[in-house]
C-alpha cells in the first residue's frame, strides 16, 4: 500500500546556498546531510511536520540531478511515497504497465530502500517509492 508523501525532492544547483535559503524559509536547519555516491548526489533533509523536504545537488557531471537542472532548471524533482512493502508495490506497478527505473530497490538517502517510476508514466512527475531499511 502507498502511505503518506514521505518527502518532496527538490533539485538545486548548490546545496550550501539552498540549505541557507531553506533554513530561513522553514525556520529550522537540516537534520541530516548525506552523500549518495551511487547516484552522484549530495542531499540534505528538513522536517516539515509529518513530511520532509529533500534537497538534491549533483556531486558529479553524470548525475541525474545535473541533467535535470540542465534541462529544466532548479525545482521539484520527485515526490516520494512511503510504502510498507516495496517489492509488492513494484510488482503491482509493473503489472499495471508502469516502467520502473530500477527493478531492484536500491539504497537511497535517509536509510531507505528506493525505486523510481518513469515520469513519462505518471504525467511528468518522477515518483519515488521508499521503505525504511530495517536491519
Note the residues at the interface with Zn ion (CB under 5 A): 9, 54, 80, 128
Please identify, using beta-carbon distances, which residue of 97 and 111 lies nearer to Zn ion.
111
By beta-carbon proximity to Zn ion, the closer residue of 28 and 76 is: 76
Q: How far is the CB of 125 from Zn ion (least distance, A)?
A: 13
Cell numbers 509488492 correspond to: 88
Measured CA to CA, the distance from residue 57 to residue 97 in angstroms comes to 31
User: Residue 33 in 3-state DSSP?
Assistant: strand
Report in angstroms how near the CB of residue 70 gets to Zn ion at its nearest: 20
State how far the Cα of 116 lies from the Cα of 101, in Å rounded to an integer.
5
**Nearer to Zn ion among residue 79 and residue 121 (C-beta):** 79
CB nearer to Zn ion: give 23 or 82: 82
Nearest residue to Zn ion, using CB? Answer: 9
Q: How far is the CB of 128 from Zn ion (least distance, A)?
A: 5
Amino acid at each position: 500500500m502507498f502511505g503518506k508523501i514521505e518527502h518532496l525532492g527538490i533539485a538545486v544547483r548548490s546545496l550550501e546556498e539552498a540549505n541557507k535559503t531553506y533554513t530561513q524559509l522553514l525556520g529550522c536547519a537540516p537534520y541530516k546531510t548525506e552523500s549518495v555516491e551511487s547516484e552522484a548526489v549530495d542531499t540534505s533533509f528538513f522536517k516539515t511536520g509529518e513530511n520532509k523536504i529533500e534537497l538534491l545537488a549533483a556531486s558529479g557531471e553524470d548525475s541525474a540531478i545535473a541533467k535535470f537542472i540542465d534541462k529544466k532548471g532548479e525545482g521539484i524533482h520527485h515526490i516520494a511515497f512511503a510504502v510498507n512493502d516495496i517489492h509488492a508495490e513494484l510488482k503491482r506497478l509493473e503489472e499495471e504497465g508502469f516502467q520502473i527505473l530500477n527493478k531492484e530497490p536500491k539504497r537511497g538517502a535517509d536509510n531507505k530502500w528506493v525505486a523510481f517510476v518513469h515520469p513519462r508514466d505518471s504525467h511528468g512527475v518522477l515518483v519515488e517509492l521508499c521503505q525504511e531499511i530495517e536491519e
